Amino acid sequence: MPTWAEVVFLLCGIGFILALKGLSGPRTARVGNLIGAGAAVVAVALPFFYADLDHVLLILVAIAVGTAVGLVGAQRVQMTQMPQMVALFNGVGGGAAALVALLELREFAHLADVGVDVQAAYLVATAFTILVGAVSFSGSVVTFAKLQELMTSRPVVFPGLPVAFGAAFLAALVLSGLLVAEPVMWAGVLVGVLGLALGVLLVLPVGGADVPIVISLLNAFTGLTVAAGGYVLQNTVLLIAGTLVGASGTFLTLLMAGAMGRSVANILFGALKGGSTLGAGEASDRPVRSAGPDDVAILLGYAEKVIIVPGYGLAVAQAQHTLRELVELLVERGTTVDYAIHPVAGRMPGHMNVLLAEAQVPYEQLKEMDEINGEFKQTDVVLVVGANDVVNPAARTTPSAPIYGMPILDVDAARQVVFLKRSMRPGFAGIENDLLFEPTTTLLFGDAKDSLGKLLAALKAL
């Protein structure tokens, strides 16, 4: 590789760092995203200008197909489907890294056959990339299937699962050791197959609200495989990009686990001893207090302070624009309105922030859980739109609940709570929410977009 190409790759790596920095704030996120995308385009195009490439036509076709899929995904995928798209694209990255490592292993095997010694560090990195990349690919496919409801979102556990996982993991380690001792293709292929099995076995016991955290963990796995692949290929930009993804994914996983009040190990293996969130669940038949849009509009219209708690149901109903109009009307009437954002609300990190930004909600109105929890006691009305588990008092009061210990929004401290719900089915964690049955809680049943539209009309009529 010529020196000028190495310098350009290094500049692309710096571009990725600047992109990550830009994505850390809402005002700079768009510019950061453009910088990252531009650096990626340059990095992909660069080999055409310095390398003597084989199969150029196939490479161009692959780039064209990938570009088309990316454009369609960006334009057509709904906000509710964004988490599963992230999972799928992440898995493809891990799978690609594993395939590239297998191709490099073939070259190493050829060198060994002609008597050339291959450094053990390269073989270790190759085995790692094959194994972890395969885990990331198959695990991401299972998380995609769970979120897309192609399979149950509940934990899937069967007798002997821990034994099967342990045996596959041990076998993968042994074969990886053999691969490092002697680079042979059959060992690499078997390591990849075992990695696929490990990915499935790792994610099957994870259910309900724990699935998004596993997506973040698998994203970190993919980053580490890309970094290891960059080491094998001696490619600076892959090494930098993979390290950034691996580090940020790891931090994000730990932060999300902390927001759930649990350890990563408990999230991954809790179902084996009954400690995982369940997913699904039956609708409750306990009596609740409900009201119509006119009654709720009166509550909101005469409130001095209102807090909005958005959740996944808001995304499902695509009601963010109607909600923004309702809030703007309340502000015009002199009401103080804020949005309370829980770290794990929705189906992926930042889901609610992105959803509300799409509706052009001022970022200043969005407040994180730690910042706003002390304000609920002075709040007249809390309007919960599509959220459930993140406001469930069971996290504080019921030790047997799978979400026990999870920090929640202290909605139950407010003077009045209005829940917009489609039905009495539980949230993503699969457990009943006792807040629904409190005397200060009123339920407004129906589709969130339709209910908010009726609330808006009733409020205008006051």
What are the catalytic residues?
Answer: 389
> Tokens at residue 252, please?
């994000």
- Return phi, psi of residue 385, to 5°: -115, 95
CA atoms lying within 13 Å on the CB side of residue 392 = 27
The DSSP element (H or E) to which 394 belongs, if any, is: helix 394-397
Query: CB-based contacts of 132: which residues, under 8 Å, 6+ apart?
Result: 94, 195, 221, 224, 225, 228
Q: Which amino acid is at 445?
A: F
Q: Between 120-147 and 82-113, two packed helices, what is the crossing angle to 10 degrees?
A: 150
Dihedral angle of Cα 100, 106, 107, 109, to the nearest 10 degrees: 140
The token pair at 105 is 């292993």
CA distance 329 to 327: 5
> If 0-12 CB within 10 Å is exposed, 13-18 middle and 19+ buried, where does residue 334 land?
exposed
Do 220 and 249 meet the contact criterion of CB atoms below 8 Å apart?
yes
Which amino acid is it at 63? I
Question: What is the DSSP code (8-state) at residue 337?
Answer: E
- Residue among 245, 164, 251 nearest 200 (CA): 164
Whole-angstrom distance, CA of residue 103 vs CA of residue 96: 11
* DSSP helix/strand/coil, 295: helix
- Burial (Cβ within 10 Å: 0-12, 13-18, ≥19) of residue 404: middle
Backbone angles phi, psi at 281, to 5 degrees: 110, 155
Residue 361 CB coordination number (10 Å): 22
